[in-house]
Structure 1
Amino acid sequence: MNETAPDEAFAALCENLGHVLQACALMCVIAPDAVHVEAVVQAAVQHAHDPVVVSGTAPGTLPGLLASLYDRLAPAATRPRRAAHPQDAIEEELVRRPRPAIVVHDAHLLRNDALYYLYRLWDAFQEHQPRLPVILTGPEKLQAVLGRPQLASVKSCVYLWHRLN
Protein backbone atom coordinates (compact mmCIF):
# COMPACT_ATOMS: atom_id res chain seq x y z
CA MET A 1 0.00 0.00 0.00
CA ASN A 2 1.20 3.51 -0.81
CA GLU A 3 1.28 5.71 2.30
CA THR A 4 0.41 8.93 0.49
CA ALA A 5 -2.68 7.73 -1.38
CA PRO A 6 -5.12 4.82 -1.06
CA ASP A 7 -4.41 1.80 -3.24
CA GLU A 8 -7.30 2.53 -5.62
CA ALA A 9 -6.25 6.13 -6.18
CA PHE A 10 -2.65 5.05 -6.72
CA ALA A 11 -3.75 2.37 -9.20
CA ALA A 12 -5.84 4.91 -11.14
CA LEU A 13 -2.90 7.30 -11.28
CA CYS A 14 -0.59 4.52 -12.46
CA GLU A 15 -3.05 3.57 -15.18
CA ASN A 16 -3.39 7.18 -16.37
CA LEU A 17 0.36 7.73 -16.23
CA GLY A 18 0.79 4.57 -18.29
CA HIS A 19 -1.46 5.98 -21.01
CA VAL A 20 0.35 9.33 -20.96
CA LEU A 21 3.82 7.77 -21.01
CA GLN A 22 2.82 5.50 -23.88
CA ALA A 23 1.34 8.40 -25.83
CA CYS A 24 4.26 10.68 -24.86
CA ALA A 25 1.73 13.32 -23.96
CA LEU A 26 1.33 16.23 -21.57
CA MET A 27 -0.36 15.45 -18.25
CA CYS A 28 -1.30 17.50 -15.21
CA VAL A 29 -1.69 15.86 -11.82
CA ILE A 30 -3.40 18.06 -9.25
CA ALA A 31 -4.26 17.45 -5.63
CA PRO A 32 -5.50 19.24 -2.54
CA ASP A 33 -2.75 20.65 -0.34
CA ALA A 34 -3.04 17.75 2.13
CA VAL A 35 -2.06 15.16 -0.51
CA HIS A 36 1.65 14.70 -1.24
CA VAL A 37 1.27 14.63 -5.01
CA GLU A 38 5.04 14.61 -5.60
CA ALA A 39 5.61 11.34 -3.73
CA VAL A 40 2.66 9.64 -5.39
CA VAL A 41 3.70 10.63 -8.91
CA GLN A 42 7.34 9.75 -8.22
CA ALA A 43 6.35 6.27 -7.08
CA ALA A 44 4.06 5.78 -10.07
CA VAL A 45 6.45 6.94 -12.79
CA GLN A 46 9.79 5.61 -11.59
CA HIS A 47 9.47 2.16 -13.17
CA ALA A 48 8.00 3.19 -16.51
CA HIS A 49 10.48 5.64 -17.99
CA ASP A 50 13.74 7.44 -17.26
CA PRO A 51 12.24 10.42 -15.43
CA VAL A 52 13.99 13.74 -15.08
CA VAL A 53 12.37 15.16 -11.96
CA VAL A 54 12.62 18.86 -11.15
CA SER A 55 10.69 21.18 -8.87
CA GLY A 56 9.30 24.58 -9.67
CA THR A 57 10.58 26.98 -7.07
CA ALA A 58 9.85 30.65 -6.61
CA PRO A 59 10.39 32.83 -8.55
CA GLY A 60 9.87 30.13 -11.22
CA THR A 61 11.93 31.76 -13.94
CA LEU A 62 13.01 30.14 -17.18
CA PRO A 63 16.73 30.38 -16.25
CA GLY A 64 15.96 28.65 -12.96
CA LEU A 65 14.08 25.85 -14.72
CA LEU A 66 16.87 25.45 -17.27
CA ALA A 67 19.45 25.26 -14.48
CA SER A 68 17.42 22.58 -12.68
CA LEU A 69 16.97 20.52 -15.84
CA TYR A 70 20.63 20.87 -16.76
CA ASP A 71 21.76 19.88 -13.26
CA ARG A 72 19.53 16.76 -13.33
CA LEU A 73 20.60 15.74 -16.84
CA ALA A 74 24.32 16.53 -16.69
CA PRO A 75 25.25 16.91 -13.01
CA ALA A 76 29.01 16.61 -13.56
CA ALA A 77 29.24 19.02 -16.49
CA THR A 78 29.97 22.72 -16.24
CA ARG A 79 26.93 24.78 -17.15
CA PRO A 80 27.25 26.73 -20.44
CA ARG A 81 27.29 30.51 -20.09
CA ARG A 82 25.15 31.50 -23.08
CA ALA A 83 21.40 31.07 -22.76
CA ALA A 84 20.96 28.94 -25.90
CA HIS A 85 23.64 26.47 -24.86
CA PRO A 86 21.86 25.01 -21.80
CA GLN A 87 18.76 24.49 -23.92
CA ASP A 88 20.82 22.72 -26.59
CA ALA A 89 22.59 20.60 -23.96
CA ILE A 90 19.26 19.68 -22.32
CA GLU A 91 17.80 18.60 -25.65
CA GLU A 92 20.92 16.63 -26.59
CA GLU A 93 20.91 14.79 -23.26
CA LEU A 94 17.20 13.98 -23.56
CA VAL A 95 17.80 12.56 -27.06
CA ARG A 96 20.51 10.27 -25.62
CA ARG A 97 18.09 8.72 -23.14
CA PRO A 98 16.13 5.72 -24.41
CA ARG A 99 12.82 6.61 -22.71
CA PRO A 100 12.96 10.12 -21.27
CA ALA A 101 10.17 11.79 -19.33
CA ILE A 102 10.07 15.13 -17.54
CA VAL A 103 8.22 15.44 -14.25
CA VAL A 104 7.85 18.94 -12.81
CA HIS A 105 6.65 19.19 -9.24
CA ASP A 106 5.09 22.45 -8.04
CA ALA A 107 4.57 23.51 -11.64
CA HIS A 108 2.16 26.21 -10.46
CA LEU A 109 5.21 28.16 -9.23
CA LEU A 110 6.66 28.47 -12.73
CA ARG A 111 6.26 31.65 -14.71
CA ASN A 112 4.67 31.67 -18.14
CA ASP A 113 7.98 31.55 -20.04
CA ALA A 114 9.16 28.49 -18.09
CA LEU A 115 5.88 26.64 -18.65
CA TYR A 116 5.90 27.60 -22.30
CA TYR A 117 9.47 26.29 -22.63
CA LEU A 118 8.31 22.90 -21.34
CA TYR A 119 5.53 22.95 -23.92
CA ARG A 120 7.96 23.86 -26.74
CA LEU A 121 10.35 21.12 -25.59
CA TRP A 122 7.53 18.57 -25.55
CA ASP A 123 6.29 19.77 -28.96
CA ALA A 124 9.75 19.60 -30.54
CA PHE A 125 10.19 16.01 -29.39
CA GLN A 126 6.88 14.86 -30.86
CA GLU A 127 8.47 14.73 -34.31
CA HIS A 128 11.52 12.74 -33.18
CA GLN A 129 12.43 9.54 -31.45
CA PRO A 130 12.50 9.34 -28.52
CA ARG A 131 9.33 11.25 -27.86
CA LEU A 132 8.95 13.07 -24.58
CA PRO A 133 6.10 12.88 -22.07
CA VAL A 134 5.84 15.82 -19.67
CA ILE A 135 4.00 15.53 -16.34
CA LEU A 136 3.20 18.70 -14.41
CA THR A 137 2.17 18.30 -10.78
CA GLY A 138 0.90 20.68 -8.16
CA PRO A 139 -2.08 21.87 -6.19
CA GLU A 140 -5.40 22.67 -7.78
CA LYS A 141 -4.04 26.18 -8.46
CA LEU A 142 -2.21 24.65 -11.44
CA GLN A 143 -5.48 24.72 -13.38
CA ALA A 144 -5.76 28.48 -12.89
CA VAL A 145 -2.13 29.00 -13.85
CA LEU A 146 -2.60 27.10 -17.12
CA GLY A 147 -5.83 29.03 -17.65
CA ARG A 148 -3.85 32.22 -18.30
CA PRO A 149 -4.43 33.47 -21.86
CA GLN A 150 -0.68 33.35 -22.59
CA LEU A 151 -0.67 29.63 -21.84
CA ALA A 152 -3.72 28.67 -23.90
CA SER A 153 -1.63 26.57 -26.30
CA VAL A 154 -0.10 24.68 -23.37
CA LYS A 155 -3.46 24.00 -21.73
CA SER A 156 -5.02 22.90 -25.03
CA CYS A 157 -2.38 20.18 -25.42
CA VAL A 158 -2.84 18.63 -21.98
CA TYR A 159 -3.85 15.09 -22.81
CA LEU A 160 -5.03 14.20 -19.34
CA TRP A 161 -5.88 15.95 -16.08
CA HIS A 162 -5.72 13.65 -13.09
CA ARG A 163 -6.99 14.77 -9.71
CA LEU A 164 -5.84 13.01 -6.56
CA ASN A 165 -8.25 13.18 -3.63
Structure 2
Amino acid sequence: MHCRDTVTAVGVPMNETMPDKAFAALRENLGHVLQACALMCVLAPDGVQGDAVVRAAVQHAQADPIVVSGIAPGTLPALLASLHDRLLPSVPRPRQAAQMQDAIEEALVRRSWPAVVVHDAHLLRNDALYYLYRLWDSFQEHEQRLPVILVGPEQLHAVLDRPALASLKSCVYIWHRLTDS
Protein backbone atom coordinates (compact mmCIF):
# COMPACT_ATOMS: atom_id res chain seq x y z
CA MET A 1 0.00 0.00 0.00
CA HIS A 2 1.30 3.41 -0.92
CA CYS A 3 0.66 6.60 0.98
CA ARG A 4 0.88 10.15 -0.17
CA ASP A 5 1.94 12.84 2.26
CA THR A 6 2.70 16.49 1.71
CA VAL A 7 5.29 17.84 4.09
CA THR A 8 6.50 21.41 4.26
CA ALA A 9 9.99 22.24 5.43
CA VAL A 10 12.32 25.20 5.15
CA GLY A 11 14.67 24.89 2.17
CA VAL A 12 18.18 25.94 1.44
CA PRO A 13 18.57 29.39 -0.09
CA MET A 14 21.63 29.64 -2.31
CA ASN A 15 23.84 31.32 0.26
CA GLU A 16 22.44 30.10 3.59
CA THR A 17 22.52 26.82 5.46
CA MET A 18 19.45 24.71 6.02
CA PRO A 19 18.01 24.94 9.53
CA ASP A 20 18.51 21.73 11.51
CA LYS A 21 14.75 21.26 11.98
CA ALA A 22 14.05 21.40 8.23
CA PHE A 23 16.96 19.11 7.39
CA ALA A 24 15.76 16.69 10.07
CA ALA A 25 12.27 16.66 8.49
CA LEU A 26 13.76 15.88 5.08
CA ARG A 27 16.04 13.21 6.57
CA GLU A 28 13.07 11.62 8.33
CA ASN A 29 11.03 11.46 5.13
CA LEU A 30 13.99 10.18 3.15
CA GLY A 31 14.55 7.56 5.82
CA HIS A 32 11.00 6.29 5.29
CA VAL A 33 11.50 6.29 1.52
CA LEU A 34 14.86 4.53 1.72
CA GLN A 35 13.50 1.92 4.13
CA ALA A 36 10.48 1.26 1.91
CA CYS A 37 12.57 1.57 -1.29
CA ALA A 38 9.84 3.86 -2.52
CA LEU A 39 9.34 6.73 -4.93
CA MET A 40 9.61 10.26 -3.55
CA CYS A 41 9.14 13.72 -5.02
CA VAL A 42 10.94 16.69 -3.49
CA LEU A 43 9.59 20.04 -4.62
CA ALA A 44 12.04 22.94 -4.37
CA PRO A 45 11.27 26.53 -5.36
CA ASP A 46 13.69 28.70 -7.32
CA GLY A 47 16.68 29.67 -5.21
CA VAL A 48 16.64 26.43 -3.25
CA GLN A 49 19.29 23.83 -4.03
CA GLY A 50 17.03 20.81 -3.72
CA ASP A 51 19.48 18.40 -5.34
CA ALA A 52 22.30 19.30 -2.94
CA VAL A 53 20.01 19.04 0.08
CA VAL A 54 18.62 15.68 -1.03
CA ARG A 55 22.09 14.31 -1.86
CA ALA A 56 23.35 15.32 1.60
CA ALA A 57 20.32 13.72 3.29
CA VAL A 58 20.71 10.48 1.29
CA GLN A 59 24.42 10.32 2.15
CA HIS A 60 23.59 11.04 5.80
CA ALA A 61 21.37 7.94 5.68
CA GLN A 62 24.45 6.04 4.42
CA ALA A 63 22.81 5.19 1.10
CA ASP A 64 24.69 5.44 -2.19
CA PRO A 65 23.14 8.29 -4.20
CA ILE A 66 23.31 7.99 -7.98
CA VAL A 67 22.61 11.59 -8.94
CA VAL A 68 21.62 12.46 -12.51
CA SER A 69 20.07 15.57 -14.02
CA GLY A 70 17.04 15.89 -16.20
CA ILE A 71 18.81 18.27 -18.55
CA ALA A 72 17.25 19.33 -21.83
CA PRO A 73 16.14 17.74 -24.07
CA GLY A 74 15.11 15.28 -21.33
CA THR A 75 14.89 12.30 -23.64
CA LEU A 76 15.21 8.66 -22.64
CA PRO A 77 18.53 8.26 -24.52
CA ALA A 78 19.93 11.29 -22.66
CA LEU A 79 18.78 9.88 -19.30
CA LEU A 80 20.24 6.45 -20.10
CA ALA A 81 23.54 8.04 -21.12
CA SER A 82 23.62 10.05 -17.88
CA LEU A 83 22.86 6.98 -15.74
CA HIS A 84 25.44 4.90 -17.62
CA ASP A 85 28.13 7.57 -17.29
CA ARG A 86 27.42 7.97 -13.56
CA LEU A 87 27.35 4.23 -12.82
CA LEU A 88 29.98 3.00 -15.30
CA PRO A 89 32.27 5.96 -16.03
CA SER A 90 35.12 3.89 -17.48
CA VAL A 91 32.96 1.55 -19.59
CA PRO A 92 32.07 2.57 -23.15
CA ARG A 93 28.35 3.03 -23.70
CA PRO A 94 26.63 0.21 -25.60
CA ARG A 95 25.15 1.27 -28.93
CA GLN A 96 21.73 -0.24 -28.31
CA ALA A 97 19.39 1.15 -25.67
CA ALA A 98 18.42 -2.33 -24.42
CA GLN A 99 22.08 -3.19 -23.79
CA MET A 100 22.60 0.12 -21.99
CA GLN A 101 19.54 -0.55 -19.82
CA ASP A 102 20.89 -4.00 -18.95
CA ALA A 103 24.28 -2.53 -18.04
CA ILE A 104 22.62 0.12 -15.85
CA GLU A 105 20.49 -2.46 -14.03
CA GLU A 106 23.50 -4.75 -13.47
CA ALA A 107 25.52 -1.83 -12.09
CA LEU A 108 22.68 -0.89 -9.73
CA VAL A 109 22.41 -4.49 -8.48
CA ARG A 110 26.14 -4.46 -7.63
CA ARG A 111 25.76 -1.35 -5.44
CA SER A 112 25.29 -1.96 -1.72
CA TRP A 113 22.41 0.49 -1.15
CA PRO A 114 21.74 2.59 -4.25
CA ALA A 115 19.24 5.43 -4.44
CA VAL A 116 18.61 7.19 -7.74
CA VAL A 117 18.24 10.96 -7.30
CA VAL A 118 17.04 12.86 -10.37
CA HIS A 119 17.63 16.62 -10.25
CA ASP A 120 15.41 18.75 -12.51
CA ALA A 121 13.09 15.79 -13.05
CA HIS A 122 10.46 18.18 -14.46
CA LEU A 123 12.63 18.54 -17.58
CA LEU A 124 12.35 14.85 -18.43
CA ARG A 125 9.98 13.73 -21.13
CA ASN A 126 7.31 11.12 -20.49
CA ASP A 127 9.41 8.20 -21.82
CA ALA A 128 12.34 9.05 -19.55
CA LEU A 129 10.13 9.43 -16.47
CA TYR A 130 8.28 6.25 -17.33
CA TYR A 131 11.62 4.43 -17.64
CA LEU A 132 12.49 5.52 -14.08
CA TYR A 133 9.13 4.18 -12.94
CA ARG A 134 9.70 0.85 -14.76
CA LEU A 135 13.22 0.63 -13.32
CA TRP A 136 11.90 1.21 -9.80
CA ASP A 137 9.02 -1.21 -10.37
CA SER A 138 11.25 -4.00 -11.70
CA PHE A 139 13.49 -3.71 -8.63
CA GLN A 140 10.45 -4.06 -6.35
CA GLU A 141 10.11 -7.66 -7.52
CA HIS A 142 13.62 -8.57 -6.36
CA GLU A 143 15.31 -8.80 -3.00
CA GLN A 144 17.42 -5.74 -3.85
CA ARG A 145 15.00 -2.82 -4.15
CA LEU A 146 15.64 0.68 -5.43
CA PRO A 147 14.39 4.00 -4.05
CA VAL A 148 13.99 6.78 -6.63
CA ILE A 149 13.84 10.46 -5.61
CA LEU A 150 12.63 13.01 -8.17
CA VAL A 151 13.68 16.59 -7.38
CA GLY A 152 12.32 19.67 -9.11
CA PRO A 153 10.25 22.83 -8.77
CA GLU A 154 6.50 22.91 -8.15
CA GLN A 155 6.12 22.31 -11.91
CA LEU A 156 7.01 18.65 -11.23
CA HIS A 157 3.47 18.20 -9.90
CA ALA A 158 2.01 19.30 -13.24
CA VAL A 159 4.43 17.08 -15.18
CA LEU A 160 3.37 14.02 -13.19
CA ASP A 161 -0.29 14.94 -13.79
CA ARG A 162 0.12 13.87 -17.42
CA PRO A 163 -2.15 10.89 -18.15
CA ALA A 164 0.80 8.84 -19.46
CA LEU A 165 2.48 9.16 -16.05
CA ALA A 166 -0.52 8.21 -13.89
CA SER A 167 1.13 4.93 -12.81
CA LEU A 168 4.25 6.74 -11.65
CA LYS A 169 2.34 9.46 -9.79
CA SER A 170 0.10 6.93 -8.05
CA CYS A 171 3.16 5.20 -6.60
CA VAL A 172 4.80 8.31 -5.11
CA TYR A 173 5.09 7.45 -1.43
CA ILE A 174 5.99 10.89 -0.07
CA TRP A 175 5.81 14.41 -1.48
CA HIS A 176 8.21 16.69 0.40
CA ARG A 177 8.10 20.43 -0.17
CA LEU A 178 11.10 22.64 0.56
CA THR A 179 10.38 26.35 0.98
CA ASP A 180 12.64 29.36 0.89
CA SER A 181 11.17 31.04 3.95
Cα distance in 2 for partners of 1:71, 1:129 equals 25
User: Is 1:92–2:106 an aligned residue pair?
Assistant: yes
Using the TM superposition, name which of 32-41 and 150-159 deviates more: 32-41
Q: Which ranges of structure 1 fall in alignment gaps of 5 or more residues?
A: none
Aligned-pair CA distance for 1:4: 4.1
**Cα deviation, residue 22, structure 1:** 0.4
Instruction: Please tell me the residue identity of whatever aligns with 1:132.
Output: L
Q: Distance in 1 between matches of 2:91 and 2:164?
A: 34
Q: Take 1:145 and 1:104, find their aligned partners in 2: how far apart are those partners?
A: 14
Aligned to 1:82: 96
How is 1:43-82 mapped onto 2 (pairs within 5 angstroms)?
43-48=56-61, 49-82=63-96
TM-score normalised to structure 2 length: 0.88
Q: Tell whether the 8 Å contact from 1:4 to 1:35 is kept in structure 2 after alignment.
A: no
Matches of 1:147 and 1:56, distance apart in 2: 18
C-alpha distance in structure 1 between counterparts of 2:83 and 2:52, whole Å:
19
> Are residues 1:109 and 2:142 paired?
no
1:23 partnered with 2:36? yes
- Conservation of the 8 A alpha-carbon contact between 1:4 and 1:40: no
Helix, strand or coil at the partner of 1:5: coil
Out of 44-53 and 14-23, give the one that drifted further: 44-53
Deviation at 1:63, TM superposition (A): 0.1
Residues 106 and 122 of structure 1: CA distance in aligned 2, closer, same or farther (over 3 Å): same
Instruction: Give the aligned partner of residue 134 of structure 2.
Output: 120
User: In the superposition, relative to structure 1, how do residues 8 and 47 fare at CA in structure 2: closer, same or farther (>3 Å)?
Assistant: closer
Q: Which moved more, 1:35-44 or 1:15-24?
A: 35-44
- The AA in structure 1 aligned to 2:55 is Q
For the Cα contact (< 8 Å) 1:73–1:93, is it kept in 2?
Answer: yes
Q: In the alignment, which residue of structure 1 is the partner of 2:45?
A: 32
SS in 2 for 1:88: helix
**Letter matched to residue 95 of structure 2:** R
- 1:9 corresponds to which letter in structure 2? A
Q: Secondary structure at the match of 1:102?
A: strand
Q: Secondary structure at the match of 2:127?
A: helix
The code of the aligned residue for 2:23 comes to F
Question: CA RMSD, aligned part only?
Answer: 1.0
Q: TM-score, normalised by structure 1?
A: 0.96
